Structure 1
């Protein structure tokens, strides 16, 4: 029987790579997006063109009612939902003294409230033996200036992961997180000079930025049967940067 996964933020970056890879592994994929309809439709078209099954569903992860509708549509299309990948996220770098309320609210709503909403609904709706994977970040180890609020949201996600892993263990649902290092996505490069990007690439032992597929492979493993004994963990997928 085919399994179904919901990928939030699945229209671009790590979410897109994850959706494509899971579809190649035989998963039915629900590609969630907030605003990028054309990009989400492109992901679905690529999956379907390769013989897979996918659909795009618009939902703002910060809205509990939107998340409920996202799961409703996934179940309506494919039956049960077996896994959730929380890939939706934003970065609004700012020194704390310069932080405005809009940037604070946006990061808390998308990164933290969005992940909480999705995990809460998944806790109610996933089949026994399911999988939940959320995105943390290696910035928690690096502590770069201007990333205070972003890091706060990711630290909360790691704490949530460890607690919910124990709450859902009785149902054999694993709950883990992946903490990428710098990955060459639009989210990462926006607002950075080429010199900054090159400096961060050279800081890693492999002297390159991570690629979305690098992270997607880790997510795919955590969703696999082979990862059934991995629970409440954070996988640092950063090429040895930290």
Structure 2
């Protein structure tokens, strides 16, 4: 009898095995001094022995000698908790979950092929939520390169596409008044110095020059 079963997420089929998180590390790594999350898994039904998943640098490059926190790192931790059904980090260790392996299709009934392999993802025991660190990292990397550069002037159409948490500065074309606005999502903005036209970004863009400042609270 096979100890694993196929599960499909986002069109990709993996082999899932029941696992227990026997250790969860969320802190500074001994190698390089970067912030990481590592989950160590055991398999109560037997199989690949003790494996781990994680090890990604969750903080940013050092600024004035100190590494910086990132929205990517926070999102990573949130996604891990969701994938094991935990509401706090303290609840992660000891959780039962599914370890998801990427294995050749010819191995569907051969559990020996799991030896020496590490999982590529984890999921809740019922398979309703899953997390894949490599996919998550690639998504954030692509999102970062696609974002406007700070201080870049934006058009009305670009303004409407900014995610919640985006911060922009504006200078009124007629009276040279200025201020800063933060997007709350769905075309809603909070700002100083912009008046009643705040929610109409099309009108706003016609009456002011808009400059992208960055993302202060990125949308998840």
Global fold match (TM > 0.5): no
Name whichever structure is richer in strand by fraction: 2
Q: Which has the higher contact order (CA 8 A, sep 6+)?
A: 1
Select the structure of larger CA radius of gyration.
2
Please indicate the TM-score interval, normalised by the length of the shorter structure.
under 0.3
> Given the two structures, how large is their TM-score scaled by the length of structure 1?
0.22
Q: TM-score, normalised by structure 2?
A: 0.24
